[in-house]
Structure 1
Amino acid sequence: MPTPKERLLSSQNLRMTRIPSQTFSSRRFEEIGWWKWKSAKTSPSSKHNYLLRSPLYRPVKEVYRDFGGRVMRSAVINNSPFFGIVVNPDGSATPDSGIDFNVLNTLRNKLNFTYQLVITEDGQWGGEQPNGSFTGMIGKVQRRQAHFAINEITITALYSGTLTAVLTVPSFEKPIDSLTDLLDAVIKDGFKPIVVRGTSNEFIFRDATSGIYKQLWDVFDPKDRYVYSWDEGIDKVIAGKYVFANAYLGAVIRAKRRGLHKYHFAKNTFYPQSYGMACAHGAPYKTLFDTLLIRLTSAGLVQKWTKDEVNKVKSADSDSSSDPGAITLIQLQAAFFILFIGYFLAAIVLVVEGIVGVCSKSKTSA
């Protein structure tokens, strides 16, 4: 074991020796600062102890404020409007559009990294299996095949029906606006709840041990409870008495393409809306990602990108002449402005008449 003096000489030699990064084909070393050994006595009877005057490494937060162009692998699934991708002939994926696409590009520009997309073979978001492994995007992260996965999840109940039929035919089918309503509709009216297999929508019911989630899973039809894509679930709702539990935004956009008047959306969501990124265990940049995602959400950017995606979709209802649509306050605001202007002008005339009347009386009395 080297003595303190030998360690001091070694550190001095390291300090005197500088390796120019130009000698390497790519940057592998980066100068981050200097350090010195500091001599100190911990007690009068002890010998000199040599301590570092300052930390040898930069804090993790400072290191990952700039990724230096590092290539990050992001696990994705083709799930518009969250992350739309185009699969190339060679099997690679190119990002196309979506809310997550905008979020990821913002993080890339802020932290100075590039990314490659890793497609999940099963097309699933990901959930835990009995052996402890995970499927889908989460499985890619768990197996270190991707650095992170990003997705937004909000679940609501969706079933087919028209508002007119619900209002005019009470005995037909009442609106399903909560999980309790869904349970009653399954037991009394023969509705079948369905979910996309291998998503968190499935696991929240399947893994429940008590409460309404467990009660609902017990009445799922084992032979007819899964669909394998979001579009399949939306289409199945129209084909029969099915209730599709799905992310709210994705369901609205897909229903908009087919005609919103064909669907009823529950008033109550049963899975809190959240935005997050699944990172590999122990990832030092996780806290930084969390902070930036909170800022993006608080600044209203995620809501703005969400609105942009909804506005991109052409509604099938726009081609239908059967329902002109309800008149909104925005459409009536011009009438209110004209009414307000009329009141304002009338008030001015009244004031002027009063002033003229007062002046006339003054002249008469004079």
Structure 2
Amino acid sequence: MEIFHSLYIQVTVNNLESPSVWWLILVKEETVKTHLEGILREGSQVTVITMKSDTHYRIVSSVVGADNKISFQEAGSWNSQSQSQHQSDLQKRLFRNADNDFGGRQLTVAANNDYPFMVLEEKENGELGLGPGIDANVVRVLSEYLNFTYRVVTPDDGGWGGPLPNGTVTGMIGMVARRETHFAITDITITGSREEVTDFTAPYYIESMTLVSRRPREKNRAFAAFSPFTPLVWLCIAVCTLAVSLSLVPETWILNMHSETVPKNYTINNFLFNVFRSLVQQENQLSSPYWSHKFIFVFWYLFCLNISVVYSGMLIATLVTPSFEKPIDSLTDLPAATDNGFTILVTDETSDAYMFKEATQGIYAQTWKLFNHEDKSKSFISSATYGMDLVLNEKGVYIVAQLASKFIAMRKGFRRYHFARDNFAIQYYGIPCMRGAMFRSQFDKILLRINEGALITKWINDEFQKIATNAEAEVHEAGPQAFTLIHLQAAFYILPIGYLIAGLAFCVEFILKWLWKSDQSEKKIPK
């Protein structure tokens, strides 16, 4: 007896329960099963064969009752001298834990609020119940087809959790690992570390991670009038304007060498001013009798026409099609984003956070360094809803699963968010069950039927339909719109700037004239 006791204590301490291991015990006394009922846990499949005589044996098998307690029930008997054995009936009674009928037993389920997968609602008696949600529907189907009821609980830390270096296990995973609940469900990602402490079902949903940030803001249009050309083009235009003006001066001087009178308006100032007038599509007020001048002006007009046509087309295109900030579309964009004041966000105690934390090299390890580790509350947040709010209210980039983030975005205004073009880290969602749970194989069968019937896709579409009305309210027909002050603010900036420069020139000119006049007055004073 002591051998059995110490053996099962080791099984319990080391979490060695497994549905693939069946313990067969041959004894002479039936008292051993009474002792085993006090130490066995669900997951240990035990059959006790009591030898009544040299040829007759009594067989009892451990089962989990509706009260979730382990007991031994009669499976049958065996006589070594009898050839007529009902082996099929005996096998059925031996493996009754693997039946598809749980007999109405109550299972405890760990879950968290995480729309659209799970919404928890408080009942009148204060207990938690399942509201709408994809995973809530999964539990309902399992309950209906396998004939069990359920009680919903949440972890104290509110996290998804997993094993920590100090040996503790947090969140929903911890509740299952400690056998506080039979299973957990709320878009729980299957990971190697979690599989070390729980038994996962086959995955029932697959998705990837994405980056969510606020919608890129429109760039300032204060200098939109200069945006059609690059700085080099503007420099070349300025050089050409100055060169044409200056080229007219020596030509005019040479042509008027033998002339008694030179037109007063043939000065460098007038040449420069009128060449500029032509450039901005204003009338040239200079007239010249010289054919060389006329040829220069004709080809300058053609130059100006070419520049003007291209400039006008590009300016209209620039004003009609707004320019936005560079979006955050991949993990490689995050270093530049943090330099611009963005905070990297992730839901704490989830596989999303562990994925970066446990990385030792590569882009994931580099991304982990970008989180705010000095004030962890800035980067490691409690829920997806809170994270999506931070993205809008503060400069944040949220690393999150696609489906949940898109549902929240639709509720809060999809067009206010930007979803990265590059997705990463494929995630497989499964149901972690306590070690050795026989019902895991039944769960796998039902989950397979759910996927074959495309019920997950249907439930996702149903949830989308519920919030589609609010999303449609944002959609409106886009069409030509009148230019606003935002489009033309450059013109209203340029005018006061011009007056400011003119005012400074006036002051300088006034001071120079005053100084010149004072100097002339001093010269006229007799000695």
TM-score scaled by structure 2? Answer: 0.51
Matched residue, 2:150? 115
- RMSD in angstroms over aligned alpha carbons? 3.4
Asked if residue 6 in structure 1 is aligned to residue 48 in structure 2, the reply is no
Asked if residue 182 in structure 1 is aligned to residue 327 in structure 2, the reply is no
**CA 1:307/1:195 → structure 2, altered by over 3 Å: closer, same or farther?**
same
**CA 1:10/1:264 → structure 2, altered by over 3 Å: closer, same or farther?**
closer
Residue 264 of structure 1 deviates from its aligned partner by: 0.7
Determine if contact 2:410/2:471 at 8 Å carries over to the other structure: yes
Residue 297 of structure 1 deviates from its aligned partner by: 2.0
Matched residue, 1:159? 213
Matched residue, 2:193? none
Asked if residue 220 in structure 1 is aligned to residue 374 in structure 2, the reply is no
Determine if contact 1:36/1:54 at 8 Å carries over to the other structure: no
Please give the alpha-carbon distance, in whole angstroms, between the structure 1 residues aligned to 2:461 and 2:411: 16
Please give the alpha-carbon distance, in whole angstroms, between the structure 1 residues aligned to 2:416 and 2:466: 20
Matched residue, 2:431? 277
Please give the alpha-carbon distance, in whole angstroms, between the structure 1 residues aligned to 2:379 and 2:402: 19
Please give the alpha-carbon distance, in whole angstroms, between the structure 1 residues aligned to 2:464 and 2:414: 13
**CA 1:195/1:97 → structure 2, altered by over 3 Å: closer, same or farther?**
same
Residue 5 of structure 1 deviates from its aligned partner by: 7.5
Determine if contact 1:60/1:284 at 8 Å carries over to the other structure: no
Matched residue, 1:264? 418
Please give the alpha-carbon distance, in whole angstroms, between the structure 2 residues aligned to 1:62 and 1:84: 31
Please give the alpha-carbon distance, in whole angstroms, between the structure 2 residues aligned to 1:128 and 1:4: 45
Of residues 69, 74, 80, the one that matches 1:38 is 80
Please give the alpha-carbon distance, in whole angstroms, between the structure 1 residues aligned to 2:155 and 2:478: 41
Matched residue, 1:312? 466
Please give the alpha-carbon distance, in whole angstroms, between the structure 2 residues aligned to 1:325 and 1:84: 36
Aligned length: 299
TM-score scaled by structure 1? Answer: 0.71
Asked if residue 206 in structure 1 is aligned to residue 241 in structure 2, the reply is no
Determine if contact 2:216/2:327 at 8 Å carries over to the other structure: no
Determine if contact 1:36/1:53 at 8 Å carries over to the other structure: no
Q: Report the 3-state secondary structure (helix = DSSP H, G, I; strand = E; otherwise coil) of the residue aligned with 1:79.
A: coil
Determine if contact 1:276/1:290 at 8 Å carries over to the other structure: no
Unaligned runs of 5+ in 2: 1-26, 29-49, 61-70, 190-206, 220-317, 480-527
Matched residue, 1:324? 477
Residue 270 of structure 1 deviates from its aligned partner by: 1.8
Matched residue, 2:259? none
Residue 93 of structure 1 deviates from its aligned partner by: 0.1
Matched residue, 2:443? 289
Matched residue, 1:361? none
Deviation per residue, 1:217-274 (Å, 9 max, x gap)? 0111222212222221111101222111122221111111111111011233323242
Please give the alpha-carbon distance, in whole angstroms, between the structure 1 residues aligned to 2:180 and 2:478: 49
Residue 162 of structure 1 deviates from its aligned partner by: 4.5
Q: Report the 3-state secondary structure (helix = DSSP H, G, I; strand = E; otherwise coil) of the residue aligned with 2:448.
A: helix
Matched residue, 1:245? 399
Unaligned runs of 5+ in 1: 16-27, 41-49, 327-366
Matched residue, 1:92? 127
**CA 1:275/1:91 → structure 2, altered by over 3 Å: closer, same or farther?**
same
Matched residue, 2:109? 74
Structure (1 or 2) with the larger CA radius of gyration = 2
Q: Report the 3-state secondary structure (helix = DSSP H, G, I; strand = E; otherwise coil) of the residue aligned with 2:367.
A: helix
**CA 1:139/1:10 → structure 2, altered by over 3 Å: closer, same or farther?**
closer
Residue 185 of structure 1 deviates from its aligned partner by: 3.0
Determine if contact 1:86/1:93 at 8 Å carries over to the other structure: yes
Determine if contact 1:141/1:147 at 8 Å carries over to the other structure: yes
Residue 202 of structure 1 deviates from its aligned partner by: 1.2
Q: Report the 3-state secondary structure (helix = DSSP H, G, I; strand = E; otherwise coil) of the residue aligned with 1:105.
A: helix
**CA 1:288/1:53 → structure 2, altered by over 3 Å: closer, same or farther?**
same
**CA 1:240/1:131 → structure 2, altered by over 3 Å: closer, same or farther?**
same
Amino acid at match of 2:145: K
**CA 1:90/1:210 → structure 2, altered by over 3 Å: closer, same or farther?**
farther
Residue 77 of structure 1 deviates from its aligned partner by: 0.7
**CA 1:139/1:314 → structure 2, altered by over 3 Å: closer, same or farther?**
same
Determine if contact 1:126/1:135 at 8 Å carries over to the other structure: yes
Structure with larger RCO (C-alpha < 8 A, sep 6+) = 2
Residue 63 of structure 1 deviates from its aligned partner by: 2.6
